[in-house]
Structure 1
Amino acid sequence: MKKITLSLAILAAVASVNAQKINLGKAAGVVSKGAQALTFSNADAIRLSKESVDYMDKNNPVAGPKDPYTVRLNKLFAKHKSQDGLNLNYKVYKVADINAFACADGSVRVFSSLMDIMTDDELLAVIGHEIGHVKNEDTKDAMKSAYLKAAAMDAASSASNAVATLSESQVGKMANAFLDASHSKKQENQADDYSYDFMKSNKYNVVGAYTAFKKLALLSEGGTAQSKFQKMFNSHPDSNKRAEAIKKKAEKDGLWKDPGTVSIPTTKLTK
């Protein structure tokens, strides 16, 4: 099975560190102004997202139903398969990357290495953030951009303003382009707000969102791999500042509890 690098800055939060390589190639062609007029509906975003995720599921080592990672994820999110009007499905990719992502079709994919360094509360916050990107239709925008790149569309090919059927190789390029996409600072902040409200409304420990961002800040400090990680977040709000924003909200709501010193675990949290 092919090993893949998913270098998307997720959750506003996570990206590839010491990553494995995905054999999808670079998206071909330059998107013209004519292609930008393409009519792209929610239904298009959902269909193309499903095609992309199906492709990635086939080209990734996916944790089985009895795998400890799957058991842990199901324990945390079984009751959130229907969340805020969204139908969600969850799987774990057993890869070295520290990452997670969500798509317009409701697919949520979490990487085992992310689960190794995050507590249950932190995972809830991270995935809540990803759900926020779906709910706010940020993933629709990312998928439209990825589709245009994968189809190498120009003014002539977009004349019908309709979404065309892609070949398997184009689907692979689309998946790669989607994972290389990043959300705006505004979109990330809105997803942070969604994550906090998700934690609060479900009576989870909102401090988990704070400590998750503190860990991401630690990952972005020092070393060659970490400097590459940090470079990917030039378009994202600073993780320490985002942690402080969570702290202020928690203090205002009377939910703040000092977690003490935050550090990266050296042993796996999934048993």
Structure 2
Amino acid sequence: MKKLVFTFLVAACLIGAANAQKLNLGKAASAASNSVSAFTFTNEDAIKLSKEAVNWMDEHNEVAGPDDPYTQRLERLFGKHQSQDGLALNYKVYLVSDINAFACADGSVRVFSSLMDIMTDDELLSIIGHEIGHVKNEDTKDAMKNAYMKAAAIDAAGSASKTVQALSDSQLGELANAMLDASHSRKQESEADEYAYGFMKQHGYNVVAAYTAFKKLALLSSGDTNVSGFEKMLSSHPDSEKRAEEVKAKAEKDGLWQDPGTVELPQTRLTE
């Protein structure tokens, strides 16, 4: 199993951050904070650029085919949610060693096979629910705007153009990397957590799985496991234990809590 072409963080986010680190965009970051800006960035721009960036990633990474067990499992779980809450979503699996997943403004959701190896079906559902939440809440628009300014070396305050420009192949690679390095605010992550919990509850899935997914991430962050790409992800998405407890509190309040017992990382792949 290959490593992703570039190592990156979750874009629209696998699991959120209590104190999300800000992406260092240098000049673009300071320009974006300027209240007077000639540069405008619309939802349509975010969708267009997201599609281009994801197409670039699909072309440069190994995507599981339709007969692959990973694809079949993902289709079984998430195929019914391709039209969810007014969103048109599409799913694919990257056959890579990094443990990760991301979603983009155009509705593209990409799940990494190594993540599927350690998460149960319900845990994956909770993770995808979180991803959908970021898309629905338009959190991905801000991430894409910052990524675009970085890849195209645009100063938002001083840009002479009010529209996005076409990107070269190398710029698309930089755009994809910058997009996936972007972080969300604690408020955005909290709202995506709420969405994920509501998604699980709405569809009759086991909400406790969101708790066990966080517990597994906490185990991975304990330092006992050296997982490709995961340490960098956790630098932007800490406090898995705290967030597991937040899920537990919600489930208890709703009368949906069932003690899962000791949560452990599986010793064998959950997708075979």
1:236 to partner: Cα distance: 3.8
Q: CA contact under 8 A between 1:34 and 1:158: conserved in structure 2? A: no
Q: Distance in 2 between matches of 1:28 and 1:184?
A: 16
Deviation digits for residues 17-74 of structure 1 (CA, Å, limit 9, x no counterpart)? xxxxxxxxxx997326556632110000000000000000001100000100000000
TM-score under structure 2 length normalisation? 0.88
Secondary structure (helix, strand or coil) at the match of 1:110 reads: strand
Q: Distance in 1 between matches of 2:128 and 2:30?
A: 34
1:178 to partner: Cα distance: 0.7
Secondary structure (helix, strand or coil) at the match of 2:129 reads: helix
Q: Which residue of 2 aligns with 1:52?
A: 53
Q: Which residue of 2 aligns with 1:31?
A: 28
Secondary structure (helix, strand or coil) at the match of 2:167 reads: coil
Q: Where in structure 1 are there 5+ consecutive unaligned residues?
A: 15-26
Q: Distance in 1 between matches of 2:88 and 2:247?
A: 27
Paired residues for 1:241-256 under 5 Å: 241-256=242-257
Secondary structure (helix, strand or coil) at the match of 2:265 reads: coil
Moved more, 197-206 or 162-171: 162-171
Structure 1 residues 241 and 231, CA, compared in 2 at 3 Å: closer, same or farther? Answer: same
1:12 to partner: Cα distance: 2.0
Q: CA contact under 8 A between 1:207 and 1:250: conserved in structure 2? A: yes
Q: Which residue of 1 aligns with 2:170?
A: 169
Secondary structure (helix, strand or coil) at the match of 2:91 reads: strand
Q: Distance in 2 between matches of 1:181 and 1:253?
A: 33
Q: Which residue of 1 aligns with 2:15?
A: 12
Q: Distance in 2 between matches of 1:126 and 1:228?
A: 17
1:79 to partner: Cα distance: 0.8
Aligned residue pairs, count = 259
Structure 1 residues 163 and 247, CA, compared in 2 at 3 Å: closer, same or farther? Answer: same
Secondary structure (helix, strand or coil) at the match of 2:93 reads: strand
Q: CA contact under 8 A between 1:13 and 1:216: conserved in structure 2? A: no
Q: Distance in 1 between matches of 2:189 and 2:157?
A: 34
Identity of aligned residues (%): 68
1:160 to partner: Cα distance: 2.1
Paired residues for 1:141-180 under 5 Å: 141-154=142-155, 158-180=159-181
Q: Read off the aligned partner of 2:264 and give its amino acid letter.
A: S
Q: Output the aligned Cα RMSD.
A: 2.5
Q: Distance in 2 between matches of 1:168 and 1:227?
A: 26
Q: Read off the aligned partner of 2:249 and give its amino acid letter.
A: K
Moved more, 184-193 or 66-75: 184-193
Q: Where in structure 2 are there 5+ consecutive unaligned residues?
A: 18-23
Alignment partner of 1:106 is 2:107: yes
Structure 1 residues 205 and 87, CA, compared in 2 at 3 Å: closer, same or farther? Answer: same
Q: Which residue of 1 aligns with 2:217?
A: 216
Q: Which residue of 2 aligns with 1:18?
A: none
Q: Distance in 2 between matches of 1:189 and 1:155?
A: 28
Q: Read off the aligned partner of 2:14 and give its amino acid letter.
A: L
Deviation digits for residues 188-246 of structure 1 (CA, Å, limit 9, x no counterpart)? 11111000000000000000000000000000002484698456445545111100110
Moved more, 214-223 or 31-40: 31-40
1:78 to partner: Cα distance: 1.1
Secondary structure (helix, strand or coil) at the match of 2:92 reads: strand
Moved more, 36-45 or 206-215: 36-45
Secondary structure (helix, strand or coil) at the match of 1:31 reads: helix
Q: Read off the aligned partner of 1:31 and give its amino acid letter.
A: A
Q: Distance in 1 between matches of 2:3 and 2:252?
A: 46
Deviation digits for residues 56-105 of structure 1 (CA, Å, limit 9, x no counterpart)? 00011000001000000000011100000100000000000000000000
Q: Which residue of 2 aligns with 1:188?
A: 189
Q: Which residue of 1 aligns with 2:206?
A: 205
Q: CA contact under 8 A between 1:93 and 1:112: conserved in structure 2? A: yes
Q: Read off the aligned partner of 2:133 and give its amino acid letter.
A: G
Moved more, 188-197 or 216-225: 216-225
1:251 to partner: Cα distance: 0.7
1:155 to partner: Cα distance: 6.1
1:171 to partner: Cα distance: 0.8
